[in-house]
Amino acid sequence: MVEEGESSVFHPALGVSNIKNAIPLILDREKVQYSNWVELFECHAHAFDVRDHSDPKTTCPADLSDAKWKRLDSVVKNWIYGTISTDLLETILCKGDTSQQVWNKPKEIFQDNKTTRTVYLENQFN
């Protein structure tokens, strides 16, 4: 069934049924694997032509309806949600966020807090 304003052309991202087959890592605060998770996620998003949903410079392309853009945005958000730990999910989940906003939250946690994270990991090590 095609929603109003949506093209009947099938988008490849809509065919992904289990994101964990493509991205086997679960992003977790306890494991330092953020850069690996990002690489896998970006590679997958590029392959399925939705990389623009995590790029802050991108808006809805002219060849996509708003309805299809929002649907693809939900797909990307579900991919992110499906590849992070429950603890991290509870931290970043916010009703109404776009996939870009959801994408930025782990980045803020893992990259912008490098000093805090270093101290935390040193304490864990000691």
More confident site: 49 or 10 = 49
Specify whether the CB–CB gap between 85 and 93 falls below 8 A: no
Q: What is the pLDDT of residues 53-83, one digit of tens each?
A: 776 666 666 677 888 888 889 999 999 999 9
Dihedral (CA of 32, 35, 38, 44) sign: negative
In angstroms, the CA 25 to CA 12 distance is 22
SS3 23: coil
pLDDT mean over 24-47: 90
**pLDDT at 71 (0 to 100):** 87
pLDDT mean over 85-93: 94
| In the predicted structure, residue 106 carries a pLDDT above the cut 70 | yes
- Angle of helix 66-81 relative to helix 34-47, nearest 10 degrees, comes to 150
- For residue 49, is it left (φ>0), alpha (ψ between -120 and 50) or beta? left
The mean pLDDT of the chain is 81
- The amino acid that residue 81 corresponds to is Y
**pLDDT at 1 (0 to 100):** 44
For the chain, the domains span 20-125
In angstroms, the CA 90 to CA 120 distance is 20
> HSE (CB half, 13 Å, CA atoms) of 110?
20
